[in-house]
Amino acid sequence: MAPALIDNDPRAQQLARAIASDIQLYNKQKIEEALKNDTFFDALQEELGEGRDLFRGRVSPEIFRKNFYDRAIVDRVVKPMASLKTPIW
């Protein structure tokens, strides 16, 4: 039996942050190179897509439309690299 879909904002945000943190943890070098080369979305297409699919499968459609996953990617994957020398900022 599949677990019930998450239908509250705090729990969905927690899940989104956890997925984004895992992406950052396991792909740090790839993320750094992609940011330096301004290829972030292309280089991490598979990882970001898998994370999005996981998130979509665990939350209600209403929650998914609130964009928590994309915000978590920015907060947990991109912002921590703010000191990285890259032409994109």
**CA 57 to CA 53: how far, in whole Å?**
6
Q: Which three-class secondary structure state does DSSP give residue 6?
A: strand
Q: How confident is the model at residue 39 (pLDDT cuts 50, 70, 90)?
A: very high
Report the C-alpha gap between 67 and 51 in whole angstroms: 13
What rounded mean pLDDT belongs to the chain? 96
- CA–CA distance, 87 with 89 (Å, rounded to integer): 5
Per-residue pLDDT tens for 61-89?
Answer: 999 999 999 999 999 999 999 999 988 88
